[in-house]
Amino acid sequence: MEEEAKREFTKDGSVDLRGRPAVAARTGRWKACSFLVGYEAFERMAFYGVASNLVVYLTTELREETVSSVRNVNNWTGTVWLTPIAGAYIADAFLGRFWTFTFSSLLYLTGMILTTLSVSLKALHPQCTPDGICATATRRQVTFFYAALYTMAIGAGGTKPNISTFGADQFDDFDARESRTKASFFNWWMFSSFTGGLVAVLVLVYVQENVGWGVGYTIPTVGLALSLLLFYVGTPFYRHKPVRRDAAAGPARLVGRVFRAAFANRRRKLLGRGDGGGELHERDAAWYAAAGTKRRLHHTRAYRFLDKAALVRTSPAEAEAEVEPCTVTEVEEVKLITGMIVVWLTTLVPCTIWAQVNTLFVKQGTTLDRSVGGVRIPAASLGSFITISMLLSIPVYDRVLVPLARRRTGDPRGITLLQRLGVGCVLQVAAVACACLVELRRMRVVRGASATGAHDTVPMSIFWMLPQYILIGVGDVFSSVGILEFFYEQSPQGMQSLGTTFFTSGLGVGNFLNSLLVTAVDRVTRGRGGGGKSWIGDNLNDSHLDYYYVFLLLLAVINLAVFVWVATRYEYKKEYLSDGGVVVGMVSREAEMAGGGGKGKVVERSKVIDAPLMVEDVELEGVRAV
């Protein structure tokens, strides 16, 4: 009876809102996630409903200059993508994901309401006369509008890193069926996200410019409020990961402690079977089972110099040392963080290239023939093909490519996390190469038609640019979804929210890097006196955007080579499953889902809690890294 009662609960230690063990049959899975997906769609619609047309509002309604409006949009967007770092830390260390999201989402909704009021009430925005003359915005109007925007940005800091992670928490990693379902969760999560963004770009932008800004902002605000109500209705079905109290010290303190201990033991040698395992300190499995909020990690060979932080004391002099030995799990957590930082660095160039979509790609498109059936389409509308190609590709990837690859590789994901990122990088390189070829053809047409004026329309259809948008869209199915999944899966236990901020911060840093790169290239190509011809001039018909695309292509190729080098040396996280005093040798969840191949030898442990770990005690038979 007692064994049957245990089986009713989840195996990953998740609890309900009151802190009681979560009942597996009544909580989590898609039953709970269905309440979350709706929120994501409306939140993306609200965000892109503001962000995609913000520069137009600033220049036409608040009467800002173009340079000033672009700078203000970049500052706000950068803040939106970087505040999740603070929101994730608060969730991991103090409040947990549910309560952090709850407070932040209410703040986010408040910002949306204030923004809607600022564009709707006559007293809060400049008025225009019937003859088209508009007054300059007052300081009070500008202050109110930006206060509303940055209220949204602060609220986004607690919602962005926690809602997707909270959704992933609804699936038990140690249940084969739920773990397989979780493998497709991020795909469908991004599907709902892009659906909301597509509605914003195709519908809300049109409503804002042709019906009214107030109506265009009210629609997503009402939708966001309704989605929050739906989220709270699902509260009884949610699973929660307990907050790790030691996480309040933060990853920085853990990293500092491990590096300090490794440096203190720098002159000591690692002994054992060539992997340092025989001399490393680790707590007993029973300690982790009792703690419940932290999982024991398997020793890896990556960053071996850090293993010295876990060396046990073997002499009286060492016993009196000020630096306490770390556990193998603590060292492995720091290894995971270090490896994630290295991978994150290789994603900055792809994020910088993606930033071209809303900048140079649009600028390039404005010079081309945009007539379709007598209607002149906006150049920015071509960006919708990125979203459309992603929406079409995600089901194909999830339902066709993954099953085919799974039968060949035995991996339930079809391909590994880093292989998925690598495919995305390759497709992005192809997209930049395509953009370069299109620009070379455009310049030939410019010279042939003598369309060198700044406002001359090049007799070349804008749909020549369609392949580069489609390649970026398909590539994002691999890269954007893959990055989000990678950083969630590889984060140490209790730090998943902070791990997902690697995704959002990469986008923010990528946008800032793009601004710096464009500025630097413009200054260098103009020369010291400013008399040279910029590659990215105001008149693209008399510039060398093709040279700049070649430069980006070289960066992308070099970054791809570095990524492959990093990926081939990366060691995935390995965890022990613990049940009382029994340690299960790291069982590959993927192998278990695939029907075997990953059996670990169960070993009874009766050592004292602080006894050193002997890796030789655990035999792994045919286990591959997760």
- Asked whether the predicted pLDDT for residue 248 surpasses 70, the reply is no
Q: What percent of the chain has pLDDT over 70?
A: 80
Q: Is 144 exposed, middle or buried (0-12, 13-18, 19+ CB in 10 A)?
A: buried
Burial 473-498 (b: 16+ CB within 10 A, else e): bbbbbbbbbbbbbbbbbbbbbbbbbb
- Asked whether the predicted pLDDT for residue 293 surpasses 90, the reply is no
What would the two tokens of residue 413 be? 């994901």
Coil, strand or helix: which one is 447?
helix
Residue 494 is predicted with a pLDDT of 67
Question: Pairing relation of β-strands 602-604 and 458-461?
Answer: unpaired
Question: Pairing relation of β-strands 375-376 and 458-461?
Answer: unpaired
DSSP state of 377: -
What would the two tokens of residue 512 be? 């800032």
Ranking 105-109, 376-380, 395-399 by mean pLDDT, the lowest is 376-380
Nearest to 98 by CA among 5, 214, 210, 234: 234
DSSP string, 76-135: HHHHHHHTHHHHHHHIIIIIHHHHHHHHHHHHHHHHHHHHHHHHHSGGGS--B-TTS-BP
DSSP state of 271: -
Q: What is the dihedral of CA 542, 546, 552, 558, to 10 degrees?
A: -140
413 contacts 590 by C-beta, under 8 angstroms: yes
- Asked whether the predicted pLDDT for residue 416 surpasses 80, the reply is yes
Identity of the amino acid at 452: T
**Looking at residues 479-484, what average pLDDT do you find?**
82
Write phi, then psi, for 326 (nearest 5 degrees): -85, 165
pLDDT band at 57 (very low <50, low <70, confident <90, very high): confident
Q: What is the dihedral of CA 111, 116, 118, 120, to 10 degrees?
A: -170
- Asked whether the predicted pLDDT for residue 604 surpasses 50, the reply is no
More confident residue, 587 or 16: 16
Residue 132 is predicted with a pLDDT of 55
- Asked whether the predicted pLDDT for residue 602 surpasses 50, the reply is no
Highest mean pLDDT among 332-341, 492-501, 592-601: 332-341
pLDDT band at 589 (very low <50, low <70, confident <90, very high): very low
Residue 4 is predicted with a pLDDT of 46
- Asked whether the predicted pLDDT for residue 624 surpasses 70, the reply is no
pLDDT 10s digits, 512-540: 787 778 778 877 887 665 556 778 766 77
Write phi, then psi, for 56 (nearest 5 degrees): -70, -45
**Looking at residues 52-70, what average pLDDT do you find?**
71
CA distance 330 to 342: 19
Residue 196 is predicted with a pLDDT of 87
CA distance 455 to 617: 75
- Asked whether the predicted pLDDT for residue 121 surpasses 50, the reply is yes
Q: What percent of the chain has pLDDT over 90?
A: 19
Q: Beta partners for 621?
A: 599
Residue 426 is predicted with a pLDDT of 95
Question: Pairing relation of β-strands 368-369 and 458-461?
Answer: parallel
Residue 500 is predicted with a pLDDT of 67
> What pTM was estimated for this model as a whole?
0.70
More confident residue, 558 or 602: 558
CA distance 519 to 29: 47
pLDDT band at 147 (very low <50, low <70, confident <90, very high): very high
**Looking at residues 19-25, what average pLDDT do you find?**
86
Question: Pairing relation of β-strands 620-621 and 599-600?
Answer: antiparallel
User: For the range 535-543, what are the long-range contacts, defined as Cβ-Cβ under 8 Å and sequence gap of 24 or more?
Assistant: 536/360, 538/454, 539/452, 539/453, 539/454, 540/363, 540/364, 540/367, 541/367, 541/446, 541/451, 541/452, 541/453, 541/454, 541/456, 541/458, 542/452, 542/454
Ranking 29-43, 144-158, 334-348, 498-512 by mean pLDDT, the lowest is 498-512
Residue 467 is predicted with a pLDDT of 93
Q: From its phi and psi, is residue 578 left (phi > 0), alpha (psi between -120 and 50) or beta?
A: beta
What would the two tokens of residue 527 be? 């020369």
- Delimit the CATH 1.20.1250.20 region(s) of the chain: 18-244
More confident residue, 26 or 562: 562
Highest mean pLDDT among 27-36, 99-108, 455-464, 475-484: 99-108
State how far the alpha carbon of 354 is from the alpha carbons of 84, 425, 487, 507, in Å.
Answer: 20, 11, 19, 9
CA distance 337 to 249: 15
**Looking at residues 5-23, what average pLDDT do you find?**
79
The length of the chain in residues reads 626
Q: Beta partners for 368?
A: 458
Within 8 A by CB and 6+ apart from 559, the residues are 346, 349, 350, 425
**Looking at residues 218-236, what average pLDDT do you find?**
91
- Asked whether the predicted pLDDT for residue 563 surpasses 70, the reply is yes
Average pLDDT of the residues of the chain: 78
User: Could you tell me the fold of the domain covering 18-244?
Assistant: Growth Hormone; Chain: A; (1.20.1250)
Residue 577 is predicted with a pLDDT of 58
**Looking at residues 440-460, what average pLDDT do you find?**
84
CA distance 554 to 244: 44
Identity of the amino acid at 517: L
**Looking at residues 471-481, what average pLDDT do you find?**
88
pLDDT band at 484 (very low <50, low <70, confident <90, very high): confident
CA distance 478 to 483: 8
CA distance 106 to 112: 10
Ranking 106-110, 273-277, 336-340, 568-572 by mean pLDDT, the lowest is 273-277
DSSP string, 328-364: HHHHHHHHHHHHHHHHHHHTHHHHHHHGGGGTHHHHH
Residue 620: which H helix or E strand, with range? strand 620-621
Residue 591 is predicted with a pLDDT of 37
Highest mean pLDDT among 132-146, 182-196, 255-269: 255-269
**Looking at residues 604-613, what average pLDDT do you find?**
31
State how far the alpha carbon of 356 is from the alpha carbons of 80, 275, 380, 451, in Å.
Answer: 19, 46, 12, 24
549 contacts 435 by C-beta, under 8 angstroms: yes
- Asked whether the predicted pLDDT for residue 599 surpasses 60, the reply is no
- Asked whether the predicted pLDDT for residue 612 surpasses 50, the reply is no
Write phi, then psi, for 244 (nearest 5 degrees): -80, 115
What would the two tokens of residue 99 be? 């309560």
- Asked whether the predicted pLDDT for residue 549 surpasses 50, the reply is yes
